[in-house]
Amino acid sequence: MTAPRLEINFDKILHNTATLTTRLMARGISVTGVTKATLGNPEIADVLLQAGVQGIGESRIENIEAMRQAGVNAEMILLRSPMMSQVDRVVAQVDISHNTELDVINQLSIAASKTGRVHGVILMVELGDLREGIMPDDLEHTVRETLRFPNIRIRGIGTNLACRSGVSPDIQNMNELSELANSIDSTFGPILDIVSGGNSGNLDWAFSGANIGRINNLRLGESLLFGVETLHREPIDGLHTDAITLVAEIIESKDKPSIPRGVIAQTAFGTRPPDEDRGTIAQSILAIGRQDIDPDGLLPPTGITVLGASSDHLTVDTGTRRLPIGSEITFQLNYSALLRAMTSPFVSKVVTTR
């Protein structure tokens, strides 16, 4: 079979997604299925929808356009604030976009008016993680101004934690979001349908038994695909952590010294060369590299260690066994490695049922 390849098990993704949507539904929380790590793969989007997600969340308009083109029939939510230069494309294909800037919302309204549409927005609030978000004190003003745009409808508010700074969603910041929702609704009348509390980093909070307040939506990607929560990357009970694996092929297999010989300067990618002398080791080279994966995001099978990677080569220590040329190694991978593998044209994507 062709290598390198991602082996994607739809049954396991379906199981993970159905399990989480059911558990969260019992807490009054709907799930937006996030496809951005899959390059907006339409088949995976369909699996998520079949498993019960309410809509599809994507960070790039190009991926949403591709899913629409492929016939994915769902409410589409653009998770990254639209670029001003893309507002026409956004109103044409996206039902709801996340927004934090009135200038952008104004342009979205103008674009929507040209085609007689009404575009939905979720206003994102900054609650400590310091990525996107309106400062809480400015929310009321932003809502008031947004309500003036004729072709915009405020669908809700949301926040995103556990991302840039790894701030944990907890009772305190989730209550803050709920209180903001209550305050907006009491000032402007009930206008917020959606109060979106966050991403896969919110699962501990959601299942902690804490009062969920006004929060009625989470946007989940990594937990559906990898069966882990993302604060500590602990496996979630009853979910598959191996729904997606990466297979690469060995192109060289030799006994080599464990440390380099000669005067050491920089490596190709500024990483540290090996300095621990472990004598002679069985070293293999796999035909895959940084262009295709994040080497730090690969989990090799027991007995194999990742030594390093350049653009096109991944070196591994295969322990006591020298593996044959042409044989394959299967890795588990994290979000960062998946993101790169999905976007690499050199890695084929194969559906499995193993």
Ligand X SMILES: *Cc1c(COP(=O)(O)O)cnc(C)c1O
- Closest contact distance (angstroms) between CB of 74 and ligand X is 16
* Contact residue for ligand X among 59, 63, 217, 283 (CB under 6 A): 59
Coil, strand or helix: which one is 77? Answer: strand
Instruction: Give me 350's structure tokens.
Output: 């194969």
Residue among 194 and 314 whose Cβ is closer to ligand X? 194
Establish whether 36 is a catalytic residue.
Answer: yes
**In degrees rounded to 5, what are phi and psi of residue 284?**
-120, 150
- Closest contact distance (angstroms) between CB of 354 and ligand X is 24
Handedness of CA 15, 20, 26, 30 (dihedral sign): negative
Binding of residue 36 to ligand X (CB under 6 A): yes
Helix (H) or strand (E) holding 122, with range, is strand 119-125
* Contact residue for ligand X among 21, 38, 41, 160 (CB under 6 A): 160
Catalytic residue among 12, 36, 254, 349: 36
Q: How far apart are CA 176 and CA 123, in angstroms?
A: 15
Binding of residue 129 to ligand X (CB under 6 A): no
Residue among 247 and 335 whose Cβ is closer to ligand X? 335
Helix (H) or strand (E) holding 154, with range, is strand 152-159
Give the x-and-dash track for 196-225 against ligand X (CB under 6 A).
---xx------------------xxxxx--
Residue among 131 and 322 whose Cβ is closer to ligand X? 131
C-beta separation of 29 from 53 below 8 A: no
Give the number of C-alpha atoms closer than 13 A to the C-alpha of residue 244, restricted to the C-beta side: 27
Residue among 331 and 335 whose Cβ is closer to ligand X? 335
Q: Which residue is nearest to ligand X (CB)?
A: 221
Q: How far apart are CA 155 and CA 147, in angstroms?
A: 11
Binding of residue 173 to ligand X (CB under 6 A): no
Helices (H), 163-212: 171-188, 203-206
Residue among 224 and 250 whose Cβ is closer to ligand X? 224
Catalytic residue list: 36
Q: Which residues bind ligand X (CB under 6 A)?
A: 34, 36, 59, 79, 160, 199-200, 219-223, 230
